[in-house]
Amino acid sequence: MRERSLLEMRGIYKSFPGVKALQNVDFTLCEGEIHALMGENGAGKSTLIKVLTGVHVKDEGEIFLKGHDKAVQIRSPKDAQKLGISTVYQEITLCPNLSVAENIFIGRGEGNMVNWRAMNKKADELLESLGIAVKGSQQLASCSIAVQQMVAIARAVDMDCSVLILDEPTSSLDESEVAKLFVLMRKLKERGVGIIFVTHFLDQVYEVCDKITVLRDGRLVGEYEIENLPRVELVSKMLGKELDDMASIKSDTDGSAVDMSSAPVYEGKGLCSTEGISPFDFNIRKGEINGFTGLLGSGRSECVRTIFGADKVTGGTVKMNGKEVKITKPIDAMKNGIAYLPEDRKRDGIIGDLSVKDNIKLALQVKTGFFKPFSNAKATEFANEYIKLLDIKTASVNTPIKSLSGGNQQKVILARWLLTHPKYLILDEPTRGIDVGTKVDIQKLMLKLASEGMCVTFISSETDEMLRTCSRLLVMRDRKLVGELTGDQLTQKTIMDTIAGGEKDGTE
């Protein structure tokens, strides 16, 4: 073992039916180091983490840990925990029906007796020291996703781990929460904890990390010191090719292509739902890409859910192409040519056990009708067409969607909606938790679809993605539509000011 190294993984192999997830991967983590693990979708990051934490058992290879003479065997998450390896996963893996304190201390086997008061007190102290504004006695499900994520980190931190793995911890946090997390990470680093940081946010990597290990297609590309690897190079190493200049996307999206004279494709007035957003007006024209922006919980998702009828619609009128229509539930919206890719892919997007083929055909099938099922050949044809078009990586059309990586699952959902040939496509956080390459693909696709006359509403927590693609932004604050930005107003600063509520720059 190298000096100061906490963890060394050597020659790791792991395969699943039809997929070789890891082939001869090495990984080294030193004391007091924040080490970024980077790679595209399906590069093997998640698998490597799961091997390390005992969720999957490796096929071959050795793992060495500081303080152990021989290679250690990790066969279960319990083993990993005993060895001081803790994880916070991309998707929340806590129990939503238990309290925050219970979630922090559950399954840690400190005797069978539970002293609730002492436990809650201990949890409160821990949460306070980490600056998380939640009480130990609160039920986890009542907290926002961001807070749930922080609780998961708090749990890991409290387990005196020497290796802390953060798998996409920031994808559901807003900026101030991310800043708090970074403070915490640096604190842990000083204590000598080694942190493995998996993320898609390049900015964040360059802000906190010391080293970067890049994986691609289940193989190791290399390990780099952060100062020796400029961003462009990192991206090209992840993709295995030179990245198209992102700036080139912007050129043709100044909104001039949008035909302002025709009636809006979609026009809603006074829309509101049971989810408690104030009534809002909204319209979109042929070929336009617009977006909702705002902080987490500002109501941007609730707006598009109201447009699609995903929540119970309680008021407002809707016109499609100037004609009044009624949209109160998803099927109404679908019949009117609206498609909606939801924010929470696992909960609202995929049908986990069904095949890629069935997942792709689902929406169109529902639209087509109960008595007109597609033949197997037809469904396979649809699936193959979109697997090719969107470059979906799957073993076959019959593979269950749940065994695909996050980005590929997202592409399948996108394929499902594109198959319905919508007039109006709503994408809520389509780029969350997926790799850079797919993010660019999806943005390019949006622009292409818009140029062919489709309207698109796009929501993303990464403002620059929206600036790059949208010609109009609707700003939300506290469940209220507070501004609409176009043309020259589309700058980071104006958006921030509007979100923050500055009177002078806003268009209220």
Q: In the bound complex, what is the minimum distance in angstroms from residue 339's beta carbon to another protein?
A: 10
Task: Compute CA distances 201 → 111, 204, 370, whole Å.
Answer: 41, 5, 43
Binding mask 291-320 for another protein (x = CB under 8 A): -----------------x-x----------
State which residue, 58 or 286, has the beta carbon closest to another protein. Answer: 58
CA 102 to chain CA mean position, Å: 26
- Show contacts with another protein in window 332-371 (CB under 8 A): 334, 340, 342, 347-354, 358, 361-363, 365-367, 369-371
Residue 398 contacts residue 359 (beta carbons within 8 Å)? no
State which residue, 243 or 366, has the beta carbon closest to another protein. Answer: 366
Q: In the bound complex, what is the minimum distance in angstroms from residue 328's beta carbon to another protein?
A: 7
Number of residues interacting with another protein: please give it, by CB under 8 A: 30
State which residue, 113 or 377, has the beta carbon closest to another protein. Answer: 377
State which residue, 217 or 233, has the beta carbon closest to another protein. Answer: 217
State which residue, 196 or 310, has the beta carbon closest to another protein. Answer: 310
Q: In the bound complex, what is the minimum distance in angstroms from residue 414's beta carbon to another protein?
A: 14
State which residue, 328 or 451, has the beta carbon closest to another protein. Answer: 328
Fill in the amino acid letter for 424: Y
Q: In the bound complex, what is the minimum distance in angstroms from residue 371's beta carbon to another protein?
A: 6
- Give me the residues paired with residue 63 across strands: 9
Q: In the bound complex, what is the minimum distance in angstroms from residue 342's beta carbon to another protein?
A: 6
- Give me the residues paired with residue 439 across strands: none
Residue 193 contacts residue 205 (beta carbons within 8 Å)? no
Listed in sequence order, the residues at least 6 apart from 153 whose beta carbon sits closer than 8 Å to its beta carbon are 88, 130, 166, 169, 181, 184
Alpha-carbon distance of 77 to 109, in angstroms, equals 14
Alpha-carbon distance of 476 to 500, in angstroms, equals 10
Alpha-carbon distance of 290 to 283, in angstroms, equals 10
State which residue, 234 or 379, has the beta carbon closest to another protein. Answer: 379
Residue 477 contacts residue 294 (beta carbons within 8 Å)? yes
Binding mask 398-417 for another protein (x = CB under 8 A): ------------------x-
CA 241 to chain CA mean position, Å: 24
Q: Residue 199 corresponds to which tokens in the numbers above?
A: 């993320």
User: Among 373, 453, 501, 502, which residue sits at the site for another protein (rule: CB under 8 A)?
Assistant: 373
Which residues contact another protein by CB under 8 A?
308, 310, 328-331, 334, 340, 342, 347-354, 358, 361-363, 365-367, 369-373, 416
